[in-house]
Amino acid sequence: MSVDRFLDYITHEKKYSPHTCIAYKKNLIDFQAFCAENFDLEEIERVSYNHIRSWIVFLVENQNSNRTINRKVSVLRSYFKFLLKTETIELSPLKQHRPLKVSKKINVPFSLDEVAQLLDGNLFSKDYLGILEKTIITLLYYTGIRRQELIDLKTDAVDLYSEAIKVKGKRNKERIIPLLPEVITSLKLYLFEKNKISELIDQNYFFCSPTGIKLNEGFVYNTVNHYFSRVSTKVKKSPHILRHSFATHLLNNGADLNAVKELLGHESVAATQIYTHGSLKKIQEVYKKAHPRGKNSD
């Protein structure tokens, strides 16, 4: 089937993450089921835009947001591009499609005070779980790595002697991230406690639960959400907001945009620029001071 070939393509050639491949597969199976049930059409490579438009209407009626619908349609677009590439079809049914309008999503980063209250306070317990949770939040904030990157971080990828970690990002692209002294101290304490665990089932992974198994996404999300709920009133409190905070705070303090891009593991500066809105006030201050006629505006 074309779907199976496509999934094999994004897994082995495009090297999409397992999480992304699972999401793509579910999306295509759901669309396939919709076409089979409503149009008696089993092979989705034969669909027309009318079929897709009916599916979009179905998604709208079932309370899916425009952002979610655009993401699902984007999967179909990738699938049809693959069919064009393999000469399975001659024209994509989505060629004339335009994404649904969505409101601009702005993630509000944590403030420096909120981060300080959490990391400098006494909110974490002194046992293994508390040390693990604090180390997770510390590494997320000090390095800007993604939640999945933290979960997949291997023990041999953490080099405390060289003061750096090797992170495997999207499409298995590796990058080296330097570590600051505070992070190294936190990692050393965590490792000291980790070595006390009698049975490390997933010992190849740097971060393990108190029972010695690899962490899951829910654990990391709940850790960040729980602790920041104690110091912040912001609506969204997630690992991604910590990544957002990392980038915003660096840019606010004069970091080069390209350097932040490399630290985040972005393929283009355009992806990094979404974090610059939070530093607009800082940019305005620099602009005002640097422009030859800036002082005249006082």
Q: With 0-12 CB in 10 A as exposed, 13-18 as middle and 19+ as buried, what is 128? A: middle
Is the pLDDT score of 25 beyond 80? yes
Is the pLDDT score of 280 beyond 60? no
User: Is 77 a known active-site residue?
Assistant: no
pLDDT, tens digit, 9 for 90 and up, residues 75-124 = 999 999 999 999 999 999 998 899 998 877 677 899 999 999 999 999 99
Here the tokens at position 10 are: 């994004």
Is the pLDDT score of 277 beyond 70? no
pLDDT, tens digit, 9 for 90 and up, residues 62-72 = 999 999 999 99
User: Is 49 a known active-site residue?
Assistant: no
Mind spelling out the 3-state secondary structure of 179-195?
CCHHHHHHHHHHHHHHC
C-alpha gyration radius of the chain: 23
Residue 170 burial (CB count, 10 A): 15
- Judge whether 234 and 241 are in contact, CB under 8 Å: yes
Given 134, 146, 237, 261, which residue is catalytic? Answer: 146
Given 170, 214, 234, 282, which residue is catalytic? Answer: 170
Which strands sit side by side in the sheet containing 174-178, from one edge to the other? Answer: 158-159, 164-168, 174-178
pLDDT at residue 296, as a whole number: 59
Q: Report the chain's mean pLDDT, rounded to a whole number.
A: 89
Is the pLDDT score of 287 beyond 70? no
User: Is 243 a known active-site residue?
Assistant: yes
pLDDT at residue 164, as a whole number: 95
Here the tokens at position 249 are: 């705070």
pLDDT at residue 269, as a whole number: 82
121 φ, ψ to 5°? Answer: -90, -165
User: Is 266 a known active-site residue?
Assistant: yes
Given 134, 147, 237, 243, which residue is catalytic? Answer: 243
Is the pLDDT score of 246 beyond 90? yes
Question: Which are the contacts of 215, defined by CB distance < 8 A and separation ≥ 6?
Answer: 136, 150, 151, 205, 207, 208, 209
pLDDT at residue 284, as a whole number: 63
Given 16, 141, 205, 275, which residue is catalytic? Answer: 275
- CATH number given to 2-85: 1.10.150
Give the 3-state secondary structure of residue 277. helix
CATH class belonging to 112-286? mainly alpha
Asked whether the whole model's pTM tops 0.75, one would answer no
User: Is 275 a known active-site residue?
Assistant: yes
Is the pLDDT score of 178 beyond 60? yes
Residue count of the chain, please give it: 298
User: Is 146 a known active-site residue?
Assistant: yes
Q: Which of 98-102, 109-113, 256-260, 271-275 has the lowest mean pLDDT?
A: 271-275
Residue 281's closest CA among 260, 255, 257, 252?
252
Angle of the 239-252 helix axis to the 217-228 helix axis, nearest 10: 60
Q: Where are the domains of the chain?
A: 2-85, 112-286
Q: How confident is the model at residue 1 (pLDDT cuts 50, 70, 90)?
A: low
